[in-house]
Structure 1
């Protein structure tokens, strides 16, 4: 972050320098940092995000597997509505298994 600042320059001055259309004095990396922020989040933000996403993942997997097992094991639950709920649970489980991993991966980077 400090690599982009000139001596005694604040982040507001950097963004003003990168958004001035009459005198544009900014590199591409400086402009990207100004508009998009730093490339990596600080550790104090990564840890709560990771814990929150892991809690969502674990409760989602346990809940959806439980729904699937209850519908499969009890013959009284073999109704059209429960088959629909079963397909929703499988769909949610697949989304958790494949989507949550990439969300966690890209949020930590």
Structure 2
């Protein structure tokens, strides 16, 4: 049984792009809890190990979801690049002490994280 990684992402871009991303996440949520690659867009077909589970939205534009074990940063980056938007992704998997923030802004990707090794220093 996998540990669940909690993810919160906010995409920043044109209204049209954000609406398209919202539609994408709604489609994935409707698929249920099993990844069915034939229903995912081609650019996400190789992300089944880090599929988006338990997706929810709020009025502030935050999308919250879970992944197995680790965040699916590559999938979020692929979405941002396709729709030409920026993002901030916060993630945490408490059981394995994984915490971080990935950002993509103006074509520059950063990922700042702590893992179990980092906690050994304290």
TM over 0.5: no
1 or 2, which has the higher helix percentage? 1
Larger Rg: 1
Greater length-normalized contact order (CA 8 Å, ≥ 6 residues apart): 2
TM value normalised by structure 1:
0.25
